[in-house]
Every structure is written in C-alpha cells, then in structure tokens.
Amino acid sequence: MTNTVMRERWIRALRSGEYTQGEGSLKAYNFGGSEYEFCCLGVLCDLVDSTKWDREATTGNIVFEGKADYPPTSILEMVGLTLEDAQLLATFNDSDGYDFEDIARYLEDGTRIPSDEDEDY
C-alpha cells in the first residue's frame, strides 16, 4: 500500500529549497561548496531516515542502507514506485535536465517536460 503522506512530504521537500540537487548518486558531498547534493531519490531516503547514511570504506561513496544509486525496494514501495519508476526519475534528475520542481510535478500528475526525442509532443 502506498504511503500517500510520505509521498506528499517528498513532493514538498523537493519544492522546499532545503535540498541542493546533484547527479549520479543518491547523496554526494559538493567539494566546491560546503554542503551535500541529493538526487530526487536521495531526498526521499533522507526523509525516511536521515540517520541511515554511511560512507563506504572502499569507494568513499555515500550510501543509504548500502545503496548509492537507487533506494532500497522497501522505500520505493512505500511511495508506490517500482525500480523502473526509480530509473526513470534518476534519468529525469541526472540526464534530462529536470529540476526538483519538474520532478515534483511529475510525481503529482505525470506531467513530463517534452524533449527533442519525444515525438508525441
């Protein structure tokens, strides 16, 4: 069953301005600044439990319950997402130029930003 309260909290957090958007991993340190950057999926993980972040000893990557690029399945299921949904959101975040507002809108109503490859738009 989808936790609509958590999904709504996630959408609000994406719009809040409290998280800096990053690419390529759930959470990463911004070496040019003094803060962390998050993928849209990393924001979700942080909301679920901000104490579960750790640094891998071998790579130095920041991981959530051992995962660096996608949340655990239990977290995805909490907000009604599949791994395929998470992959699409990661593509929006990392490759397609969606900002957190665009992703929040997509999570609310499925509205996508047209791209050059989209023939339907």
Is residue 121 classed as helix, strand or coil in its secondary structure? coil
Instruction: Give residue 113's pLDDT.
Output: 67
Beta bridge mates, 54: 63
Which residue bears the tokens 């998050």? Answer: 38
Instruction: Give residue 120's pLDDT.
Output: 47
- How many whole angstroms separate alpha carbon 102 and alpha carbon 92? 9
pLDDT tens for the chain, 121 residues long, are 458 899 999 999 999 999 999 999 999 987 766 689 999 999 999 999 999 999 988 888 899 999 999 999 999 999 999 999 999 999 999 999 999 999 999 999 887 766 545 544 3
Instruction: Give residue 105's pLDDT.
Output: 94
Instruction: Give residue 10's pLDDT.
Output: 97
Domain ranges of the chain: 4-109
Element (H, E) at 112: none
Which residue bears the tokens 């397609």? Answer: 96
pTM of the model: 0.88
From residue 7, give the alpha-carbon distance in Å to each of 11, 58, 63: 6, 33, 21
Handedness of CA 60, 64, 66, 68 (dihedral sign): negative
Instruction: Give residue 36's pLDDT.
Output: 92
CB neighbour class for 17 (10 Å; exposed up to 12, middle 13-18, buried from 19)? exposed
